[in-house]
Amino acid sequence: MSETDEQAGQIVLDPEIPGGVYLCQVSETVSCGACCGLYNVADLSMDGLSALLAKRTHRFAGGAGRDLEAVLSFRKWVEDSEPQQRPFAEFHHCPYIGLIGRNPSRPGCLLHPLGNSGIDLRGISDYGGFACRSYFCPTHDCLSANIKIQIQRAARDWFEYGLIITEASLVQAVLDAAGNATFRQEGPTPDPDHFMDIMRELMNLKRCWPYRPDHAIGRIHYFFNDRLYARTPVAYAAIGAEPSPYDRIFQELGSGFASIKELREAEAVMKDFLKRATLLRP
List the chain pLDDT tens, one digit each, 282 residues: 433 344 445 677 899 999 999 999 999 999 999 999 999 998 889 999 999 999 999 999 887 557 888 899 999 999 999 999 999 999 989 999 999 999 899 999 999 988 888 888 888 888 777 777 788 999 999 999 989 999 999 999 999 999 999 999 999 999 899 875 444 434 455 577 888 899 999 999 999 999 998 877 778 889 988 888 888 899 999 999 999 999 999 999 999 999 999 999 999 999 999 988 876 544
200 part of a folded domain: yes
Beta-carbon contacts of residue 168 (< 8 Å; ≥ 6 apart) = 138, 139, 142, 143, 223
Write the Ramachandran bin of 244: left for phi over 0, alpha for psi from -120 to 50, otherwise beta: beta
Q: Let me know if residue 18 belongs to a domain.
A: no
Alpha helices in 82-177 (DSSP H): 129-134, 139-142, 145-154, 158-165, 168-177
**Whether residues 90 and 182 fall in one domain:** no
In a shared domain, residues 270 and 158: yes
Domain-embedded: residue 234: yes
Last residue of a domain, one of 135, 155, 174: 135
158 and 104 co-located in one domain: no
Residue 266, Cβ density class (10 Å: 0-12 exposed, 13-18 middle, ≥19 buried): buried
So what's the pLDDT on residue 214? 82
146 lies in the same domain as 124: no
**144 and 263 belong to one structural domain:** yes
> Considering the domain boundaries, does residue 177 fall inside one?
yes
Same domain? 119 vs 184: no
SS3 177: helix
* Residue 120 falls inside a structural domain: yes
> Within this chain, do residues 209 and 77 fall inside the same structural domain, yes or no?
no
Total-model pTM: 0.87
Residue 169 contacts residue 35 (beta carbons within 8 Å): no
Residue 146, H or E segment: helix 145-154
Shared domain for 152 and 188, answered yes or no, is: yes
Shared domain for 155 and 269, answered yes or no, is yes
Instruction: Say if 180 falls within a structural domain.
Output: yes
In a domain, 2, yes or no: no
Boundary-marking domain end, from 117, 135, 153: 135
Q: Is 1 a domain residue?
A: no
Q: Which residues 6+ apart lie within 8 Å of 12 measured at CB?
A: 1, 2, 5
Residue 184 lies in domain: 140-280
Q: At what angle do helices 260-277 and 192-208 cross, to 10 degrees?
A: 160
Residues 44 and 60 in one domain: yes
Among candidate residues 71, 103, 135, the one where a domain is terminated: 135
Q: Clarify whether residues 181 and 120 are in a common domain.
A: no
Contact present, 126 and 94 (Cβ < 8 Å): yes
Q: Which pLDDT belongs to residue 68?
A: 86
Amino acid identity, position 102? R
Give how many domains the chain has, as a whole number: 2
Q: Provide the CA 216 distance to its chain's centre, in angstroms.
A: 14
Say how far apart CA 73 and CA 180 lie, in whole Å: 52
For residues 52 and 96, membership in a common domain is answered with: yes
